Amino acid sequence: MPQLTRAFIKISFIYLLAALLLGLLLALRQLVSLPAFLTAAGPVYFHLFLVGWLTQLIFGTIYWLFPAANPPRPRAEKWLGWTALILLNAGLLLRVVAEPLATLRPGTFWGWLLVVSAVCQWLGGFAYVAVVWPRSRERTRKRRRRSQEAV
């Protein structure tokens, strides 16, 4: 399993744990009074699950499972893959902090941090698409075998 895959998968499970804990806290708000920061974290909860856990679990698995690009470009893939991981996680962590605070204090510095978070996640997503697009293809080995069979 490549190092990038392991990083994506391990990080994704940390997010799963964080999402479940946040979900538990959000459920407790019916029973106990929570800080306003936490009560404004509803969208963060969903994105920890869907971007932090599920999307990153898929990203990691794809990187491992899909055939190599043809022609091979291991350096570019590695660079783009790690860039995607760093940007996606930087963006998501910024969101975790900035979104509840920007909701509670609109028009402050936190709002601009949310813009930075959006740009980081967007670039991270596109970097990953750039890694995977050329790898979603038929395996060369099979194509060769087929063309040999045709002959």
Contacts with other proteins, residue ranges (CB under 8 A): 50, 54, 58, 65-67, 95, 98-99, 102-103, 110-115, 117-119, 121-122, 125-126, 128-129, 132-133, 136-139
SS3 25: helix
Q: Closest approach of Cβ 74 to other proteins, in Å? A: 19
Q: What angle do CA 35, 95, 83 make, to 5 degrees?
A: 150
**In the chain, which residue ranges form alpha helices assigned H by DSSP?**
3-28, 36-39, 42-47, 56-65, 74-104, 109-132, 140-150
Q: Closest approach of Cβ 107 to other proteins, in Å? A: 8
Q: Measured from the CB atom, is 14 or 40 closer to other proteins?
A: 40
SS3 70: coil
Q: Measured from the CB atom, is 12 or 117 closer to other proteins?
A: 117
